[in-house]
Structure 1
Amino acid sequence: MKEHTILRNDWTREEIEQIYNLPLLELIYKAATVHREWHNPEEVQMSTLLSIKTGGCPEDCSYCGQAARYHTNIKIQALLPTETVIEHAKKAKEGGSSRFCMAAAWREVRNNRDFDRVIDMVKGVNELGMEVCCTLGMLTEEQAVRLQEAGLYAYNHNLDTSEQYYEEIISTRTFDNRINTINNVRKAGITVCSGGIIGLGETHGDRISMLLTLATMPKHPESVPINALARVKGTPLENNEKTDTWEMIRMIATARIIMPSSMVRLSAGRIEMTDFEQGWCFMAGANSIFTGERETLLVTPNPGVSEDLQLLKTLGLKPMAKEKNNVLESEI
């Protein structure tokens, strides 16, 4: 299965630039080839993302409607009851999702009753046999250990953009803060979910820089979400142009080639894509999507489960079977 492409963490900027700038169809062909070496090309992991605490965030991320300082239509919602979250997870599992992600609009995790409740949610979702993922903001090593002990499988913390462009998008924390949290997650033995957003006004060079940071980590993120900016009314980036889908495909294909073992997730922006465009993204190496009803990381619309299952069927794809804990179960 893994005969030709080797995993590398020593990529140079020039090498990634060369791949990124290949003629598009050549790039897609190379990416599709790598994808088939490392993954079953017929399977797509379906992940469901639920906003467990919405809005009121003190950060100033220019793309996000949940920042308290922007006037958007997003309603502030306190942390959901644990039972409600578990019900959502059960429904997601029934719909074919094998990963359940819980997002809270916090700047950082605080050691309080809310975090205790998140720990209970992690335990509850883990007992359903799903991969459980959280995105809760900045995290200390001790907090990461608590989440790992509760059964957390993955932690999402996107780089968003390049280190050079980061301060143009966010001023309330630094790029190094992002890297520190990712390092804390790694040390705790939790898998890393980290990618970025295109369409923020960044250059192609910024996109290449972001991919370089991810691909030269000591261990590649197990999951790499590629997001197109979801333009939220009331945020500083609401008037940015719609991200061109070919640009998304170029990013997905480059990520697939340089991080061959990672799941590459086609994330925000899917609602504005046709089935044809999504099909090209899968061809270029995307093998994971967020599905569900309205809940996504940016609290923006998302295609429904039935639409996604129909799309996969049309393309001859199927939801990825749940593999987590199989070894343990077979030994019992």
Structure 2
Amino acid sequence: MMADSAFIRSCTNKVLAGGSITFEEAERLLATDDVMTLAGCANTITRTFNGDTVDVEALINAKSGRCPEDCSFCAQSSFYDTGITKYPLLPKEVLVENARKAKEAGATSFCLVCAYREPPEKDFQQICETIAEIRSKVDIEVNVSLGFMTPARARRLRELGVKRYNHNLEAAESYFSKICKTHDFADRVNTAKIVKEAGLELCSGGIIGMGESKKERLDLAFSLASLRPDEVPINILIGREGTPMAGFEPIDPLEAIKTIAVWRFIMPKTILKIAGGREVHLKDKDRLALKAGANGIITGGYLTTGGNAPNKDIAMIKEIGLKA
């Protein structure tokens, strides 16, 4: 344990001095049994580079289901019968009202998420009108997640004042073909690069607990770090009935905490956001996650599952001495 503790602190000092840890160092950190030292050092890195504020984001499933992609984890894929409510793009008025409610509940940003490979032109125009309306009527950051992007569309979103575009890598390149056959890892990387080149901030993360190895969890983190994302959501798989991952054994909560902490060493300055699955898998350990490298949360629910009420999450953040 003492050797582990000394090694963790030496990696911490390296990162605090502006250096980067190697893949081998990350593997050794992830293998440690000294979870509390790892968590404490990740917290030191977080506070040093990012301060005490937790990024609180609300999202809305603005178009549900019927996605033509076969991602094995996703309840919205048209390949699987998961019993979710499916609906076309929600009317502009509904989305503006939801943005207003998110702002009133304490969220600092609002993300429009749509289940597309890429939006048809008619829907894209309606989304653009909705963004303009939210920006003119509600004082909240607007982020979007619309699937694959072209440079022209990404520039249009930037002109409308969208702050951040979400496009997750989901899994390590070496594992990606096991979870998706209708597109590949390079397609996702390409859209991530397009939105950055257009001047949008990039939100890109993934899902842990999909049967990947610890090494593949780190492969994903290093791939993400190479894109220099502004925000990285860490989702923890909820095996949805009807999907190929329905019966997957849930990840151990402390393994999830260790993963979050090590990702902080790899990406010291990004917003690391605990997202889908945190309420199910972390339960009361979400407090520990926010003192172990994470500095962002999704509140109020996800795409096809519920979540904590925003006031409950904001109270929790303040209870542990952080700001929302």
Which of 159, 167, 175 pairs up with 2:177? 167
Q: Using a 3 Å threshold, how does the CA distance of structure 1 residues 304 and 166 change in structure 2: closer, same or farther?
A: same
Which of 207, 219, 223 pairs up with 1:213? 223
- Write the distance in 1 (CA, Å) between the matches of 2:127 and 2:151: 16
The equivalent residue for 2:131 is: 122
Contact 1:11 1:216 in 2 (8 A): no
Tell me which amino acid in the other structure corresponds to 1:244: D
Question: Are 2:262 and 1:262 equivalent residues in the alignment?
Answer: no
- Write the distance in 2 (CA, Å) between the matches of 1:275 and 1:313: 17
Contact 2:113 2:146 in 1 (8 A): yes
Question: Are 2:238 and 1:230 equivalent residues in the alignment?
Answer: yes
Tell me which amino acid in the other structure corresponds to 1:203: S
- Write the distance in 2 (CA, Å) between the matches of 1:192 and 1:84: 26
1:4 CA displacement: 6.9
Question: Are 2:253 and 1:245 equivalent residues in the alignment?
Answer: yes
Contact 1:148 1:189 in 2 (8 A): yes
Gaps of 5+ in 1: 320-332
Give TM-score, length-normalised by structure 2: 0.90
Give TM-score, length-normalised by structure 1: 0.88
- CA RMSD after TM alignment: 1.8
1:141 CA displacement: 1.1
1:228 CA displacement: 0.3
Contact 1:193 1:223 in 2 (8 A): yes
Tell me which amino acid in the other structure corresponds to 1:167: S
1:122 CA displacement: 1.9
Which of 299, 309, 313 pairs up with 1:304? 309
Question: Are 2:147 and 1:137 equivalent residues in the alignment?
Answer: yes
The equivalent residue for 1:193 is: 203
Contact 1:256 1:286 in 2 (8 A): yes
Contact 1:47 1:101 in 2 (8 A): yes
Contact 2:107 2:310 in 1 (8 A): no
Question: Are 2:107 and 1:102 equivalent residues in the alignment?
Answer: no
1:276 CA displacement: 3.1
1:15 CA displacement: 3.3
1:316 CA displacement: 3.0
Secondary structure of the 1:117 match is helix
Which of 30, 49, 53 pairs up with 2:63? 53
Question: Are 2:47 and 1:36 equivalent residues in the alignment?
Answer: yes
Single out whichever of 140-149 and 300-309 deviates more from structure 2: 300-309
Single out whichever of 10-19 and 167-176 deviates more from structure 2: 10-19
- Write the distance in 1 (CA, Å) between the matches of 2:18 and 2:253: 27
Q: Using a 3 Å threshold, how does the CA distance of structure 1 residues 312 and 237 change in structure 2: closer, same or farther?
A: same
- Write the distance in 1 (CA, Å) between the matches of 2:251 and 2:152: 38
- Write the distance in 2 (CA, Å) between the matches of 1:4 and 1:226: 21
The equivalent residue for 1:272 is: 280
- Write the distance in 2 (CA, Å) between the matches of 1:255 and 1:144: 28
Contact 2:15 2:268 in 1 (8 A): no
Q: Deviations over 1:148-207 (max 9, x none)?
A: 111110011111110000000000000000000000001000000011101111000110
Tell me which amino acid in the other structure corresponds to 2:49: W
Structure showing the higher helix proportion among its residues:
2
1:76 CA displacement: 1.0
The number of equivalent residue pairs is 309
